[in-house]
Amino acid sequence: MVTLDLDALARLAKAATPRPWKFQAMTGSYEDIDGNEVESGWLTGPDFIDTGDYETFRESDAEFIVAAVNALPALIDMARERDRLREALAEAQRNLSRWTHGEDCAV
C-alpha cells in the first residue's frame, strides 16, 4: 500500500493557485510528433498571472490536471476519514478480542 503524506499534499494544495482551475482551449489545433491533429490550450484559475509566456497542454492532459487539482482537497478529506475509520475499527476489534477473552473493554 502506498503511504501518502496528506499534510504535505494539503500544504501544497493550499499554497497553489486557488481552485477551481479550468482549461482554456486555444483556437485551432496543431500536429503532434506523430502527425495527429491535437487540440491544445492552457490552464487558468482565479489568480493565475498573465505573464505572456504560456505553457500549452494537450486538451486531455490539461483536463486530467484540472480534475486532479480540483478533486485533491476532497480526496485528502476522504483519505483522512478512511484513516480515522480504520483506527476505530482496529480499536473495536481489540475490544472484541478482550471481551471474548473475558478482559475489561475500553468503551
Which helix or strand (DSSP H or E) is residue 1 part of?
A: none
One-letter amino acid at 83 equals: D
Size of the chain, expressed as the number of residues it contains: 107
Calpha distance 22→93 (Å, rounded): 45
Q: What is the pLDDT of residues 58-71, one digit of tens each?
A: 777 778 888 888 89
What's the pLDDT score for residue 51?
58
Mean pLDDT of all residues in 67-78:
90
One-letter amino acid at 11 equals: R
Say whether pLDDT at 84 is over 70: yes
Q: What cell numbers appear for 87 in the block? A: 483506527
Q: What is the pLDDT of residues 12-44, one digit of tens each?
A: 888 887 788 887 777 666 677 777 777 777 777
61 or 97, which is more confident?
Answer: 97
Point out which residues pair with 37 in neighbouring strands.
31
Mean pLDDT computed over every residue of the chain: 80
Q: Report long-range pairs for 71-76 (Cβ below 8 Å, ≥24 apart).
A: 72/9, 72/13, 73/10, 73/13, 73/19, 76/6, 76/9, 76/10, 76/13
What's the pLDDT score for residue 106?
59
